[in-house]
Structure 1
Amino acid sequence: MPINLSKGQKVDLTKGNPGLKKIMVGLGWDVNAFDSGADFDLDAAAFMLGQNGKCPTEKEFIFYGNLEHSSGAVKHMGDNLTGEGEGDDEQIQIDLAMIPANVEKVAFTVTIYDSDVRRQNFGQVSNSFIRIVDETTGQELIRYDLGEDFSIETAVVVGELYRHNGEWKFNAIGSGFQGGLAALCGHYGIEVA
């Protein structure tokens, strides 16, 4: 049975699973019934953060335009343009053993592509979740359902992996931002063209 988290809850990941090295982070969502006239393209991303809470360089920002970190530690499995169907809409593979020493946290985010033009926000999205799966066994370890707390936000920090006393933990964050991906990049120290 996976551990179901609520907002703000933190849980040990590697302490109770000492052999855990490779995990898959799955993010999923559904779009509410009413039609905004355009497809919803939600994008998952991972920000690899140093001690200061910022990405050391833009190479630590893993998204549809930069699918893999040079260390091989974080790999985005590709962009899903519609979010159709059951289960994970986008997946990010993490090799905990390969995460560079200068990276303290990996933050997972979801943003709405072109939200301003398409007049879309997270108030129109439901059943959003993040789950963490042990890639070796296929077992779901953690699941966090975001609930329906959003209205006008166009970006959400879903959760983060972080180092604590040599172990990896997960924090269910679920906080929304306005300003989409650009706002998140600014928050994490990435300059946006």
Structure 2
Amino acid sequence: MPICLKKGEKVSLTKDNPGLKNVLVGLGWDVNAFDTGGSFDLDASAFLLTDSGKVSAQEDFVFYGNKEHKSGGVVYMGDNRTGAGEGDDEQIKLDLSKIPQAITRIVFTVTIYEAEARRQNFGQVSNAFIRLVDESAGKEIVRYDLGEDFSIETAVVVGEVYRNGAEWKFNAIGSGFSGGLAALCAHFGIEVA
């Protein structure tokens, strides 16, 4: 049975799962089809941050345009352009043993592709969640259902996996941003053309 978190709650991933190494991060959502009539393309991404709260290099941003971190520790598994169907819509795999020591936080975000042009926002998205699965045991260990707290936001910081001494922990964030992917990139130190 996974631990179900509420916004702002934190839990240790490795305390009850010693030796945890391979983690599948699943992100999912449904869209309210009646709102815009247009299709939604939501994109998951991961920012690998140092103690500064920023990336140390452009390559520390893993998404559909940079699918694997140079360490091999974070891999984006592909773009689902509709959100249709049950379960995870997009997945990011972690190998905690390969994450460089300088990386202290991995922040998971979801953005709406071309949100402003399509007049779409997270108020039109429902049933959003993030879940972490211990791949070696095949079991879901943490789940965070975001709820319906959003209106005009076009990007969401869903949660983060972070180091705390020798442990890895998860923080359920659920914080919305306006300005889409560009706003998130600027916030985490990525230069956008």
Q: CA deviation at 1:35?
A: 4.1
The answer to whether the aligner puts 1:108 opposite 2:108 as a matched pair is: yes
Paired with 2:153 and 2:192, the residues of 1 have a C-alpha distance of 19
Distance 1:157 1:78 in 2: 19
2:8 corresponds to 1:8: yes
Residue 166 of structure 1: CA displacement? 1.2
Partner of 1:181: 181
Aligned residues: 193
1:24-73 deviation line (CA, Å, top 9, x unaligned): 00000000141413210000000000110001101000000000001100
| 1:23 partner letter | V
Deviation at 1:137?
Answer: 1.4
**TM-score under structure 2 normalisation?**
0.99
Q: Counterpart in 1 of 2:54? A: 54
Which residue pairs with 2:133 in the alignment? 133
Coordinate RMSD, CA, aligned: 0.6
1:42 aligned residue: 42
CA distance in 1, matches of 2:135, 2:74: 13
Contact 2:35 2:124 in 1 (8 A): no
Aligned-partner SS, 2:11 = strand
Q: In the alignment, residue 84 of structure 2 is paired with which amino acid?
A: E
Instruction: State the alpha-carbon separation in 2 of the partners of residues 110 and 184 from structure 1.
Output: 10
Cα distance in 2 for partners of 1:101, 1:58 equals: 17
- Give the whole-Å Cα distance in 2 for the aligned partners of 1:139 and 1:15: 15
Identity %, equivalent residues: 69
Query: Post-superposition, which runs of at least 4 consecutive aligned residues in structure 1 deviate over 6 A?
Result: none
- TM-score (structure 1 length as normaliser): 0.99
1:159 aligns with 2:159: yes
Q: State the alpha-carbon separation in 2 of the partners of residues 154 and 35 from structure 1.
A: 15
Q: How does 1:57-68 map to 2 (within 5 A)?
A: 57-68=57-68
**Is the partner of 2:181 in helix, strand or coil?**
helix
Cα shift at 1:103: 0.2
Give the secondary structure class of the aligned counterpart of 1:81.
Answer: coil
Matches of 1:39 and 1:32 in 2, distance apart? Answer: 10
